[in-house]
Structure 1
Amino acid sequence: MTAPVKGPASYFPSIEKKYGRPISEWQALIGASPLTRHMELVSWLKSEHGLGHGHANALVAHTLAENTLAENIGK
């Protein structure tokens, strides 16, 4: 039995369905952005890509957490 997905990733199926892009594509856009602060990225996704606040926030939170984890593992 699989544990239910919790946290920001729980939004991913609805994000993919609503906006028609895979999560990996959104994460690549976030990673390529010159912006680095959480709320700057959220605002950018909302204004430039039409995402709702909750969806943008979930994508940014998850992506930044993954990047931080990867950086810490690389140390």
Structure 2
Amino acid sequence: MTAAAKGPASYFPSIEKKYGRSIEEWMGIIKGSPLEKHMELVGWLKGEFGVGHGHANALVAYYRASAS
């Protein structure tokens, strides 16, 4: 039995399905952004790519946690 994903990763299957990009692609997109602050990145994903707030927040939280 596989343990269920927790935290931001729990959103990943629905993010990939809804927006048609892998999580690796999203991490590259975020990495390529000149923005650094959490909410700036969330707003940018929402405005530029049409990502919902919860999904954008999960992507940025995961990116920032893995980058530190």
TM range (shorter): over 0.9
* TM-score where L is the length of structure 2: 0.97
Alpha-carbon shift at residue 3 of structure 1 (Å): 1.3
Q: What corresponds to 1:38 in structure 2?
A: 38
- C-alpha root-mean-square deviation of aligned residues, in Å? 0.5
Q: What corresponds to 2:59 in structure 1?
A: 59
Q: What corresponds to 1:47 in structure 2?
A: 47
Alpha-carbon shift at residue 21 of structure 1 (Å): 0.4
The structure that has the greater radius of gyration is 1
Alpha-carbon shift at residue 2 of structure 1 (Å): 1.8
* TM-score where L is the length of structure 1: 0.89
Give the distance between the partners of 1:56 and 1:34, measured in 2 at CA: 16
Alpha-carbon shift at residue 61 of structure 1 (Å): 0.1
Q: What corresponds to 2:8 in structure 1?
A: 8
Question: Unpaired segments of 5 or more residues in structure 1?
Answer: 69-75
- The alignment covers a number of residue pairs equal to 68
Give the distance between the partners of 2:51 and 2:32, measured in 1 at CA: 17
